[in-house]
Structure 1
Amino acid sequence: MTAPILPPKPKARAEKVTLRQYVRLFREDILSAQPAKLYRAWMAEFRTPFFRSFLINQPDLLKTVLKERPDDFPKSGRISEGLRPLLGQSVFLTNGDTWKRQRRIIDPAFEGGRLRETFPAMWEASQAAVKRLEAFEGGEVEIEEHTSHAAADVIFRTLFSIPIEHEIAAEVFHEFRAYQRSQPILNVAAFIPLPRWMPRFFRSGTRASAAKIRGLITQLTSKRMAEIEAGSAPDDLATKIMTTSDPVTGERFSTEEMVDQVAIFFLAGHETSASALAWTLYLMAQFPEWQDKVAQEAAIGLSNDFSAVSKLRIARDVFREALRLYPPVPMMVRENTCPEKFRERDVNVGSQIVLSPWHLHRHERLWDNPDGFDPARFGTENGKSCLRDAYMPFSAGSRVCTGAGFAMVEGVLILSMILRRYRVTLTNRPAPEPVAHLTVRAKDGIWLRLEPRDAARNG
């Protein structure tokens, strides 16, 4: 009997390592640093000389942290140390009243009606992505580069009404590509509490890249602020956010505050979508029967109409399954502010609570066939139950990603449009190895072969 095909994942490390070895492994790749037992544990404790960490996979504990008492478990400052140079005081890093104010201003821009308004820009970006792939017909292509290009194009078209070819947009994209490869998820301060005056030991060029990206974004936001004041601003996401007043305080974002938010929109909206799309296309090459289903569905139901997206059910389940196997943000960290007892263990104030979609989505005691690729699972009782209790590619609760709906529309649309036009197949290169930079990417890229679909050319 032929062994089932399993999508690649990093080999788990040995169970016993020293703290120094673990820190080194963590900085090299957060995924392969983890022991195999975390794929079946309900909770695991990790001790350092400075703090304790608790990774939790048990659904009721996740519900407590994310949904029932989120204010008692704010975002950990240990994570923000590494991202602060780029993201400043963005909604991704803040807590408490500051975060609530930011969400009150941002959330209206991503409501259902606004998604419908952004769809034409998504469609144009998807068409442009397919057009760029023409140069690789019949040959090999490193698909991560192209999904990054496509996702960045979507962000710039929907946020600022400019294509990726715009001079500033192109420069931001170029700088961000370099930044995401140089910046690990965790800075050394994640392990060692450093005084504020001490350097944070960023990798060479990371701080400079962050400053350049923020400078370019400042140009775009300053220009938009001037257009808003002159009454000539286009009706896009940036204008919507910058003209929305907090219903509680009446305040709007300043230009500087908007720079912080645009930085996270680009990180969350471009980097995560690029990762998810690249892994989805790799899975399609590995599972051609599902690829053909997506292509056939797209040939019939895909059109430049927002309502058509709801008909692309196979593409949605395929993309959803790719997000399960390769969640773009593999781990999230909260900090405990109240004494707790989880699974009969004391969780002291200041402990780090690690929420790991990477482990939760492949948990051996929750999911049927946890390492297998099966988009049909979401129609089963197990799949439906896990969607509620063990699936959080966009986090969950009040801090769920405000752009989750945006990402699902974008991912399904671009995937369907590419597969309607092209068949993707595996190459003779080694299977891609998942590693965590800012998101889950392939260590040496994801290489695929592109073949045009004759039927698509006639469509």
Structure 2
Amino acid sequence: MDNPIDPSARPFRAPAPVPHATPLGFAGFLRTATRNPLEIWGTRAFKEPYIRGSWLGVPNIVINDPAGVRHCMVDNARNYVMQPLRQRLLRPLLRDGLLTAEGPLWRRTRKAIAPVFTPRHIAGFTDAMEVRSRRAADRLAEQEGTVTDAAHELTLLTFDILQATLFSDDIASEPEAFARSTQQFLGSMGRIDPLDLLGAPAFLPRLRRLKGRKSMLYFRGLIADTIARRRVQIERDPDGAPNDLLSLLVKADGLSSGEIEDNIITFIGAGHETTARSLTWTLYLLSQAPDERALVEAELDTLLPTLTDPNEWADKLVHTRAAFEEALRLYPPAPSLNRTALAADSTGGVDIPAGSTVLVMPWLIHRHEMLWDRPDHFIPSRFLPGNRESIDRFQYLPFGIGPRVCIGAGFALHEGVIALASLLRGLRFDYAGGAAPEVVQRITIQPLGGMPMRVSRR
């Protein structure tokens, strides 16, 4: 368990669906999972290291024990492939992108993309992250008052950062239109349909996703145009083309135009939507925890004037980073990491038959009573130097784990801290909703209906 928290402290309890005490039954599970998958979990899932069950005759094993996570996701990772339900949900969106590709295609794609995300290369992006974040802060300062949806504003910011860094401002799209299409695309296409849960063939239409088809066509047309322009640029002047993610994909051996398109859409979804959601939750949590916000503001007031290189911020701004990491714990960008066992296995005394579904759920592990003190509460000090070292590597999984760990984890951490620091150095965000936000899972974990906030200068 992480370091015990001062018992006299009164931290903020972060909103989440209440675990049910009795089984949902077949029909109840189907209704609940299609409405909000976070609501399917009962109290046992937050208390026990392993949970055994079955769905449509397939054994399901939920693994909350860090040793079991390590065994299945790292030590014996070759035995575990992408689970079919996950693929039925994501492949219509991402096709052969890095998150859904498997086997030789996944290895070839990851090798092609890896140079963009080395620490040296990420360091070269941090100035642009700071410039675009400062621009967003200035824009919000000008519209001081209630912002209908802070999540939308942060989507604009993270798209701007993505544009400037990974695509060298080469995606020709009006930001507002892009942000709206992103929401429609991931919000409708990323919803579980009852047919997915029942294992129905892919050719049967998922009615819940029909609304997302227009935005999907918009995305694919936009990206196809972007790829075509960059190909022409590389052919005309190979040395003058930007050395960014887009160029690396276009130049990569063995990737078709469709596969390049799939990966760009993957990075648009995974590379800015997840960070925007994490920033949204961080601002909300800080607005509900005045003492924690005061620590962050004091740190920014004291240290930021002395830190001229944004590449240092993630290491030096320890309270700002801790608030962001605690938000990632409470609302993990990837709430589920689901696999299927190719061959029989066992871990922690639990048998895993061949063909079983293995569920490693950051949503459960990050709020598990066995692993965290006051797991449902916002306590950034868990992640301060001296405390963070006691957290097991396999109990904190905001970017996944094992061979398929998020390739952009370092990028996202720098982006999150730089954006948060740039916004909070001169602004204050207060939650403006009438009730606590309702927490739902689509692809990412989102506040249903957005996140209204009042923005004021401080």
TM-based fold match above 0.5: yes
Report the TM-score, using the length of structure 1 for normalisation: 0.91
Q: Which one is further off, 385-394 or 350-359?
A: 385-394
Specify which of 253, 256, 259 is matched with residue 258 of structure 2.
256
Correspondence for 1:67 among 69, 74, 77:
74
Partner of 1:294: 296
Q: Report the counterpart of residue 216 of structure 1 in structure 2.
A: 222
What is the rounded CA distance, in whole Å, between the counterparts of 1:380 and 1:124 in structure 2? 28
Structure 2 counterpart of 1:235, from 223, 233, 243: 243
Once the two structures are aligned, what percentage of the paired residues are identical?
A: 31
1:123 maps to 130
Of the two structures, which has the highest relative contact order with CA contacts closer than 8 Å and spacing of 6 or more? Answer: 2
- Select which of 163, 173, 177 maps to 2:179: 173
Does 1:194 pair with 2:200? yes
Correspondence for 2:282: 280
CA distance in 1 between counterparts of 2:79 and 2:195 reads 22
Give the whole-Å Cα distance in 1 for the aligned partners of 2:57 and 2:219: 34
Cα distance in 1 between the residues matched to 2:174 and 2:356: 42
Secondary structure, in 3 states, of the residue corresponding to 2:151? helix
Number of matched pairs: 446
Give the structure 1 partner of residue 403 of structure 2. 398
- 1:129 to partner: Cα distance: 1.3
Q: Residues 140-168 of structure 1: CA distance to partner in whole angstroms, max 9, x if unpaired?
A: 4421111111111111111222188x436
CA distance in structure 2 between the partners assigned to 1:315 and 1:106 by the alignment:
29
Matches within 5 A, 1:32-431: 32-162=39-169, 166-167=172-173, 171-231=177-237, 232-243=240-251, 245=252, 251-302=253-304, 303=307, 305-309=309-313, 310-379=315-384, 383-427=388-432, 429-431=434-436
Measure the CA separation in 2 of the matches of 1:329 and 1:47: 23
1:304-330 alpha-carbon deviations (Å, 9 max, x no partner): 523331211211111111101111221
Structure 1 runs not aligned, ≥5 long: 246-250, 454-459
Tell me: CA distance 1:139–1:397, structure 2 relative to 1, closer, same or farther (3 Å). Answer: same
* Residues 66-89 of structure 1, C-alpha deviations (whole Å, 9 max, x = no match): 111212111223212122222111
AA at the equivalent of 2:44: K
2: CA distance between counterparts of 1:211 and 1:319?
34
The C-alpha deviation readout for 1:27-64, integer Å capped at 9, x for no partner, is 10011221122111211123222422211101111001
For residues 146 and 140 of structure 1, do their structure 2 counterparts lie closer, same or farther at Cα, with a shift above 3 Å needed?
closer
Letter in 2 for 1:307: N
Stretches of structure 2 that go unaligned for 5 or more consecutive residues are 1-7
Q: Secondary structure at the match of 2:209?
A: coil
Question: Residue 75 and residue 242 in structure 1: after superposition, are their counterparts in 2 closer, same or farther (change >3 A)?
Answer: same
Looking at structure 2, the residues matched to 172 and 46 of structure 1 have their Cα atoms a distance apart, in angstroms, of: 41
Structure 2: how far apart are the matches of 1:307 and 1:155?
Answer: 16
Matched with 2:4 is none
The 1-side partners of 2:44 and 2:356 are apart by: 21
CA contact 2:114–2:407 (8 Å) conserved in 1 = yes
Matching residue's letter, 2:268:
F
What residue is the counterpart of 1:457 in the other structure?
A: none
CA distance in 2, matches of 1:196, 1:373: 41
**SS at the partner of 2:40?**
coil
Secondary structure, aligned partner of 1:89: coil
CA distance in 2, matches of 1:342, 1:186: 29
Deviation of 1:397 (Å): 1.6
**Whole-Å separation in 2 of the counterparts to 1:168 and 1:145:** 14
Contact 1:81 1:189 in 2 (8 A): no
Equivalent residue in structure 1 for 2:38, among 24, 31, 37 = 31
Which deviates the most, 396-405 or 307-316? 307-316
**Aligned-partner residue type, residue 109 of structure 1:** V
Task: Report if the CA contact (8 A) 2:141-2:456 is conserved.
Answer: no
Deviations, residues 417-440 of structure 1 (Å, cap 9, x unaligned) = 111011222336211121111100
Match of 2:3 in 1: none
Q: Residues 121, 253 of structure 1: CA spacing in aligned structure 2 closer, same or farther, 3 A cutoff?
A: farther
